[in-house]
Structures are given as C-alpha cells and as structure tokens.
Structure 1
Amino acid sequence: MALLVTAAVFTSCSKDSNNNPDPNPGKVDTTAISGDVSGTWTKGNVYKITGSLQIAEGKSLTIEEGVTVLFSDTIVKPEFIVKGNLYSNGTAQNPVKFTVPDNLKTSANQFGGFWGGIIAGPTSTELVLNYTILEYGGAVTTEESASVKAGLYKAAAGERVPALYYSNVNGKLVVMNSTIRNFYEDGMYLEGGKVLIAKNTIHTTGIANGDAINIKSGCVADVAFNLVYSPNTNGLKLSNSGDRTPQAFVIGYNNTIVNAGWRRPTTKGGSIWVEKGVRVNLYNNLLANDRYGIKRDKGNPEDSANGRSVIANTFYYGYTQTAVDQFQPSNEIIAGANDITATTAGANDPKFVSYPLNTDVNNATFDASWDFHLQAGSPALTKGKTGITRNYSAGLTVNGVTYTSPEAADYIGAFGVK
C-alpha cells in the first residue's frame, strides 16, 4: 500500500486499456499504509497507518495542512522511521495530527503508548514539524520494532520510544508552533543537529520517567517561548553526554515550565537540569511550582569555565513552602544574576491570566482553557533580558524556508500580556 501512496503523488492521471480517463485522477489509497513512504500527503486527508513507516535515505515526505496520520493498529504499535527528510507543514487553523482513534483518548490512557514515535536516524538531513500535533504514543519496543531492527534510538527491546528522536549532528531540526502531549516517555530526545525549538506546548509526558526536551551532545540549539506542563522529570534536560562533536550548546530563553518533576521522586526531577559539560545560556525562564530550581549534577556539572555558561533572569514561584525551599540556591541549585525569587510560599505570584496556582503539583491533566499569559501588574513583566545572542538569529533554512529564532522578550516566560 505504501507504494500506492508514493506513486499517487507524482501521477496526476492514468488510462485503462480502453483509453478511458481515470474517474479519480491522483486518488490515494489512505486506508492501510505501511512500509516505505515518500512524496506528498495531501491537504485534509486521513492516512490510516497499519504498520511501521519508513522514509528511505535520500527520499522526502511532505505532509500538508490538515492531514491526520492515524495510528490505528494498537497491536502492532507502529513507529515512524525517518532516514530521509520529513516536512510536516500544518497551519494554526489546520494542524497536522499524528494521533490515534478517538475512542482511545480517555483519562485512563492519558499517557498513550499506542504507537511509537518519530525516530530519525543519522542520515536524516532535514526534519520540520510546524503546527503539528503528536499525541498518545511512546509504545515499548520489541525485537520486531522498526527502530530496533534499524539500530536506532536505544536499539533494544523493552525501551519506551520518545515522541521525537533526532540523531544527525550535521542535520537540521525545526519544531515550531507544535504540540506534544499524552506520551509515555520523553517529548524530544535529541542526539545531534542544528536545532530550533520554539513556541511549542508540551504536556502530560512521562509516566515513570521522561523529560519534555532532552538534549545531548552534537546539538546546537535554541529553545524559546515553549510552555511545558507536568513532565515526569525535567522540562529541559541539557547534557553533553555521548561525546559527539560539536559540544552541546543550548540557548534556552523565555520558557514557562509548570509542575515539573513531582511525579518522579528522585534527585533529577525538576525544572531544568544541566550536566556533563553542556554549555548553556539560560535567560527569562519562568518556573512555577516545579520540584527544584535550575539544578546541576554536582558530580558532573555544566561547562562553566571562563563564563562559557550564563544563567540569568529566572523567575521562581512556589505555592507550597516545600517548592520554595527546593529552589533556594545551593551547591546544586544554580543562582543566576537578576533572578526573581522568594523565601515564603505564595510570594511573587506571576499573575497568570487563568491558572489556579494551588493545582496539585502531581496533576498531569492539562486543561485547554488555562491561559499562561501574564496579567497587567505581573512581577514577571519588564524583567526579561533582551538583545541576547541566539544561535539562529539569522535563520535556519530548511527545504527552502528560513526559520528564525525569535528575539528575547522584555518579560519573563513564554507569554506576555495579551
């Protein structure tokens, strides 16, 4: 069936033996797709996935706005292997959706696990997710899983798959205006590439562990204006593990991270974790009701030599005294310049437009009516650092389109006043 999908993209019409025109020129069989795919999946169609997919090395698949990629086989639990290029181009009104049948979207299934994830290998040179929704995945691998057979990600049975894995140190990855939600494991697990992650929402990820965004060596990344809610472990895990070149360098700014880390009762669970020689510049991040402040692995910390890492203008809020106590500076919790902090519960209310700050910190259910914009008079307004250096201020060009890292705002967090 996958060959039919590919062929239909490039063939506008065909004729039968009687030279009669095809009554449905260019029609794609979307009812049972598996195997190799490439070409274009066209606007508004539903593509029913019944087995693992692969974009072969040197091939590309473009997914147009409004497409639904429906993982309908909950026994096979397919994965999407990308050895070539993937361009998922939704719009605000018509996002692309990687999803499962509606009857599976229940509170009992809030961490998904019904399909794997998008697993991009070291030959994937470009991958774009723009206005794209990934949900209800994170299946556990078996010996028959496509990623295990291809030697990708952890290449072993018994591992949960992240929503998105990317591993080409020379490749380009753009994730913008997108949503990752209801995943059993990490939202993103990145082991290489020029990376731009901006203006996304990531929530309800990780049931036993899992970070919203997990960045390793080989990545040079801008991570900005993202909303992260209730990751099992960290909102951002930033590490130079893996010893790939280049050294991991992450500029993370104007992110809002709420309720992070409480569902994993270990030393790692928190807001932002830095370790193993990663170079970080972190500015204007709003951390509300997280288990810890920005935290280092004190036995194997970030690259702080000669001012190579900078942390500043972080806003902290804790509804409980426990939360407040756990963001106080120590040899693990990093104090930054111009931080806005407090020592008593409830101080420095960020004044979100509509989010109850007394929400249980173990809550993982996201309410779409919540609004994390700031009200007038918020102490996070006008406290941001502007004019910061960004890796991709001149843009990252992918498939002929240039994506630019947004400028830092003069407020702290992902959202200012409406």
Structure 2
Amino acid sequence: MYNLKMKSTMIAASLAIFALAGCSDDTSEPTPVIPPVVQESVSGEVSGVWTKGGTYKITGHILVPAGKSLTIEEGATVLFSDSVVKPEVVVLGNLYSMGSAEKPVKFTVPDAWKTAANQFGNLWGGIIAGPNSTELVLSNTILEYGGAVTTEESPSVKAQLYKAEAGEHVPVAYFMNLAGKFVVVNSIIRNFNEDGFYIEGGKVIIANNMFYTTGVSGGDAINIKSGVQADVAFNVVYSPNTNALKLSNSGERSPQAYVVGYNNTIINAGWRRPTTKGGSIWLEAGVRADLYNNLLANDRYGIKRNAGEPEDKRSVIANTFYYGADQVTANQFQPSTEIVKGLNDMISTKAGENDPKFVNYPLTTATNNANFDTAWDFHLQAGSPALGKGKTDFARLYADGIVVNGVTYKSPAPANYAGAFGTK
C-alpha cells in the first residue's frame, strides 16, 4: 500500500587518510567525526532509529507499520518538504520521539515556508495513530506548521482513522487505542491549523508543555473523549481558538473519560472563535473531571459546562484562579448554570482584580492576539496572589507512573500555587 522511496545521501564520514605530521612517533589516530545523517525523499514505510542530529526530508506520506517502531533521537529534524502532498504520519505500530531540553526533536517545515501567511501551518498533516498502536511518546519535541486538510487520497481517510473523511484538518496527534499509552512531556506545539491532541482512548500523561498559535476557525489544544484516563498538568496554553481543555465522555467507549487537570496556565482562550462556545475548559457528556490549581487569565469564559449534558457529578473543581483585565471578561467568569464555581476559587469580579503578576507578560495584550512572544515569562513574581493558593492533597492517576518502552513516566506532583509556574 505504501512504496518506500528512501534515497539516502548520508554525508559519510571519511575514515580519512590521516597524514603523519613531521617525524612524530605518536602512532595514535584521532577519532573520526561522523557528520549527522541526511536522508532525502523519505516516504512510505519507516521504522528503526532516526539518529541524533539527523535530517529526514519527508516528501510523501509515511507509515510506521503494525508490529514495528520508529524511535527518533535527540536533535533530529523531521522536515516536511512537499507542499503539494502535505504528508501525514500514520502510526500503526509505535512512535517514540525522544528529544532533550538542549536538543529537541523537531517536526517542522523549511524555514522559507514559515511566513505570516502560513502562521497557522496547514503545510503537513499530523501524527495519526491506528487502533493497534500501543505506545506513542513525544518528549522534548517541537511540532509546528501542520494541520493540513484531508482529501480522499489521505492515508488516514483510506484507513478510516481520525474522522475518516475528506475535508477535515488533521490534529497535531490523534490517539485511539483503549489499551494504549500516550505521553507528551516537555514539548512545544505551535502554528497548527486545528486541534492539538485529539484523544479517544488510552492511559495518557500530558505535562509541562507549551501550546500557542493553534486553531484558525475552531480547535482546542487538548480534546479528550471517552476511553481516556489522563493526567493533564503544568501546561501553558496561550490563545487557543476555543478551549485549552475540551473534556467529554462522548463516544460510548469504556472506560469512562476521567481527567485530572491541575496547575495549568490558560491565557486568552476562546476569543478567536467566530461563534460562542467555550473559552477555557469545557465539560460535557458525563466526563469525570477533577480540576485543581488552574490559572485562567483573560479567557472568554470561566470553566464552562454543557448545561444540557453536564459533567459527572463526582467531578471536583477547586482552587481556580481567575483574572480579567476588563469588565466584560470578569463578568463572564461569574458562576451560573453554565459557568462552574469550584471550591476555594479566586474569581475576579472587577476588571484588574487578582493580577497574577507574571514576570513578563502585558495583561492588556488584545484577547484575540495569536502572536506569541517567546520572551514572555509566565512565572509568578514574589507577592503574586496566586502563590500559596494551590491544593496538593488530591490523587492523580499516574503518581506511580506508567511504563512506556521501558521508561517510567510519572505525572508531576501538584504545586501549592495556581498555574504552571511558581517563582523563579
């Protein structure tokens, strides 16, 4: 179904002929330096290891076959280089993207394509896992400029994955195996056309990530359905088109969707959506959600439920910190049949109340702004009213960790402040 067309142009290291200098009787030879791999025209089936610092130029759809795995090592670049095909990454086996803080893995496009006109990507598809994909890890990974729309020829449509129809923008990553494990940690998701993660099954940890410039006319940063049990913590989500977290038990899969979401910072959510729905965290269809210590600044709404089809009554919401720079925003935080009031919430009732005192972020930035400044710093200054307001004595699902490919990933311990960052 897929043809492998990998033409390697590995810049091979010369096991060079080392000239002897002078009359030295030093017979030791220097260790040869092996340049990183460069592979041109990558498409079709892929598996094995993509090596440290390598560049893999993707010119067609790629597929990790069932029963096989692809491991991408630190510093590798997965470069989507065909603007006509706009390749998808279909994972029927397992995928492990294993960057480091100093050398992240990058799923990206050529620098010349990173223009204002392409602010929301649409230049490659996304990572789409099949029903038997048991493990998918994105660790210290940058994913950017994707979210292309599906066609009748898209491999995800042909394989009946994701929404299984043409005309749908692909999320950053889609995962569906009820018995699988999906882990995203210490990563950056940016410049994407649609949802960040769309998850319909599995044990899930999403922690310590940054999301910004996502969603053109719709889209949530993290979209969770039935069959998922997840810890979602210490993420910063800036100006998602709709919600940072859309939590639902729709789909009638077992187990019931259960999400423990805590210490997330959500800023300017929901304002760019052309129609009104959510605008921070959305709850619906009997999802069980325990939400603690989340910091909501200048979002379109407070935590919001579908009043006609609300969350599970066992859900617990507590210690949410709210800030609105203007009165319209503050008004839309106030409890109602749709806006959920939690225990020990700090809800601003007037414009400018509860200034979280971010280290570097102008709180008067336009709420519909999607341009992210990497100099912004969402740590809290000393004296922030969000300090000391966090609850720490609650259970999370994966405090003891889940093991993926021999590595144990634990959801981080909650902090005694609201939001993703305390003081520096």
Tell me whether the two structures share a fold, i.e. TM-score over 0.5.
yes
- The answer for the alignment partner of 2:107 in structure 1 is 98
Number of aligned positions between the proteins? 400
**3-state DSSP class of the match of 2:90?**
strand
Question: Residue 108 of structure 1: CA displacement?
Answer: 1.9
1:335 and 1:234 mapped to 2: Cα distance? 18
* TM-score, length basis structure 1: 0.93
Q: Distance in 2 between matches of 1:155 and 1:87?
A: 24
Q: Secondary structure at the match of 2:397?
A: coil
SS of residue in 1 equivalent to 2:96: strand
Contact 1:272–1:295 (CA<8 Å) still a contact in 2? yes
For the pair 1:389 / 2:398, whether they are aligned, the reply is no
For 1:3-402, list aligned pairs within 5 A.
30-304=39-313, 308-402=314-408
Which of 23-32 and 192-201 deviates more?
Answer: 23-32
SS of match in other structure, 1:30: strand
CA shift for structure 1 position 265: 3.5
Q: Deviations over 1:143-180 (max 9, x none)?
A: 01111111100110111100110000100000000011
> Which one of the candidate residues 389, 395, 412 is aligned to 1:406?
412
Q: In 2 relative to 1, CA 125–3 (structure 1 residues): closer, same or farther, beyond 3 Å?
A: farther
Contact 2:38-2:55 within 8 A present in 1 as well: no
Letter aligned with residue 31 of structure 1:
E
Corresponding letter in the other structure for 1:98: F
Partner of 2:17: none
| SS of the residue 1:231 aligns to | coil
| Corresponding residue SS for 1:290 | coil
Unaligned 5+ segments in structure 1 are 9-22
Distance in 1 separating the partners of 2:422 and 2:400:
24
Contact residue 226 and residue 256 of structure 2 kept, 8 A: yes
CA distance in 1, matches of 2:37, 2:112: 26
> 1:229, 1:121 → 2: CA distance?
29
Q: Secondary structure at the match of 1:32?
A: strand
How large is the RMSD of aligned CA atoms in angstroms? 1.8
User: Cα 1:326–1:27, aligned 2, differ >3 Å: closer, same or farther?
Assistant: closer
CA distance in 2, matches of 1:321, 1:46: 50
| Aligned mates of 2:268, 2:396 — CA distance in 1 | 27
In the TM superposition, what whole-angstrom CA distance separates every residue of 1:280-301 from its partner, at most 9, and x where no partner exists?
0000000000000000000100
Contact 2:172 2:192 (8 Å CA) reproduced: yes
Change (3 A) 1:26 1:382: closer
Q: For residues 336 and 82 of structure 2, what CA distance do their matches in structure 1 show? A: 49
Unpaired stretches in structure 2, ≥5 consecutive residues = 11-31
Matched AA of 1:223: V
**Residue 14 of structure 2 aligns with which residue?**
none
Structure 2 counterpart of 1:264, which letter?
R
| Partners of 2:217 and 2:274 within 8 A in 1 | no
Q: Secondary structure at the match of 1:324?
A: helix
The CA deviation at 1:411 is 0.4
Within 2, Cα distance between the matches of 1:33 and 1:203? Answer: 29
Instruction: Output the CA distance in 2 between the equivalents of 1:95 and 1:74.
Output: 24
Distance of 1:197 and 1:27 partners within structure 2? 30
Q: Distance in 2 between matches of 1:333 and 1:42?
A: 49
